[in-house]
């Protein structure tokens, strides 16, 4: 089965590449916002094609390996994780594109104010994506859990940015359209944080066999009798 595990390793590498591309989309979109440079948004849209193509390639490979290699245990979990993580990464790319769309109006008009806390929030969201991928590469559940804890900070940024911009709009209705665009960008970033959180949950599922997606339902017991560590099989 050595050959099979090389193929799984290859699949993991592809996910990492796709993740790196999605992460760079967030970074470029953020730069476009901070440097008020709309030309950069073209680079984001170009990268989206790459990310989408990688999703198709990885999912196809996961299905093919499942049909041909008849995997068991942590390898089955890995293949299901793969297709769920590509979904998250593809949507992270979508959100970067949505940020560019929401920037379109913002960059036509004078800046509202030093961008509230959006750049810090963007950096946090990007870090969450990067850390969730690092957790996957290293099968590091502690790191995955740290990513999951950062969702609260993202939500706090979202609420604070909302309140600040609301005050602006109330005081000066001339700022309404710009402020709404910025509120929508903060929602795009919030969703990127959500997706990173989902990736972190998938890593824990793969490595430990615990489904931690809905903590209020159960306390994450192994869900397929799988105590077997992923490192044993891959």
Does position 176 interact with a second copy (CB under 8 A)? The reply is: yes
User: 38 in the Ramachandran plot: left (φ > 0), alpha (ψ -120 to 50) or beta?
Assistant: alpha
Sign of CA dihedral 104, 110, 116, 119: positive
Any contact of residue 53 with a second copy (CB under 8 A)?
yes
Q: Residues binding a second copy: what is the number (CB under 8 A)?
A: 41
Q: Is 1 in the site for a second copy (CB under 8 A)?
A: no
115 sits near a second copy (criterion: CB under 8 A): no
How far apart are alpha carbons 31 and 221 in whole angstroms? 42
Other beta carbons within 10 Å of 172: 11
Q: How far is CA 205 from CA 9, 79, 132, 223, in A?
A: 18, 12, 13, 9
Write each residue from 127 to 166 as x if it is in contact with a second copy (CB under 8 A), else as -, in one continuous string: ---------------------------------------x
**Cα 150 to Cα 145: distance, rounded to the nearest angstrom:** 9
Beta carbon nearer to a second copy, 37 or 108:
108
104 binds a second copy (CB under 8 A): no
- Contacts of residue 170, defined as CB under 8 A and 6 or more positions apart, other chains included, come to none
Least distance in angstroms from the C-beta of 214 to a second copy:
4
User: Any contact of residue 49 with a second copy (CB under 8 A)?
Assistant: yes
One residue of 5, 104, 113, 213 binding a second copy per CB under 8 A = 213
Distance CA 224, CA 214 (A): 16
Asked if residue 217 binds a second copy (CB under 8 A), the reply is: yes
Which residues would be at the binding site for a second copy (CB under 8 A)? Answer: 49, 52-53, 55-56, 59-60, 62-64, 66-67, 70-73, 76-77, 79-80, 83-84, 87, 166, 169-170, 173, 176-177, 180, 183-184, 187, 211, 213-214, 216-218, 223-224
């Amino acid at each position: 089965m050595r050959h099979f595990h090389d193929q799984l390793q290859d699949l993991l590498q592809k996910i990492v590449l796709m993740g790196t591309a999605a992460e760079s989309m967030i970074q470029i979109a953020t730069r476009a916002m901070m440097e008020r440079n709309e030309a950069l948004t073209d680079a984001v849209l170009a990268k989206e094609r790459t990310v989408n193509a990688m999703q198709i390639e990885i999912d196809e490979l996961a299905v093919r390996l499942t049909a041909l290699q008849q995997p068991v245990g942590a390898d089955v979990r890995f293949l299901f994780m793969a297709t769920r993580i590509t979904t998250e990464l593809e949507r992270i790319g979508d959100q970067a594109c949505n940020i560019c769309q929401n920037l379109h109006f913002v960059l036509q008009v004078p800046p509202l104010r030093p961008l509230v806390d959006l750049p810090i929030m963007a950096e946090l969201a990007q870090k969450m994506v990067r850390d969730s991928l690092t957790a996957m590469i290293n099968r590091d559940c502690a790191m995955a859990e740290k990513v999951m804890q950062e969702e609260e900070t993202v939500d706090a940024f979202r609420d604070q940015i909302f309140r600040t911009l609301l005050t602006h709009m109330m005081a000066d209705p001339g700022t309404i359209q710009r402020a709404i665009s910025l509120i929508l960008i903060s929602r795009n970033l919030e969703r990127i944080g959500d997706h990173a959180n989902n990736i972190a949950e998938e890593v824990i599922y793969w490595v430990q066999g615990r489904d931690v997606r809905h903590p209020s339902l159960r306390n994450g017991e192994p869900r397929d009798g799988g105590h077997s560590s992923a490192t044993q099989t891959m």
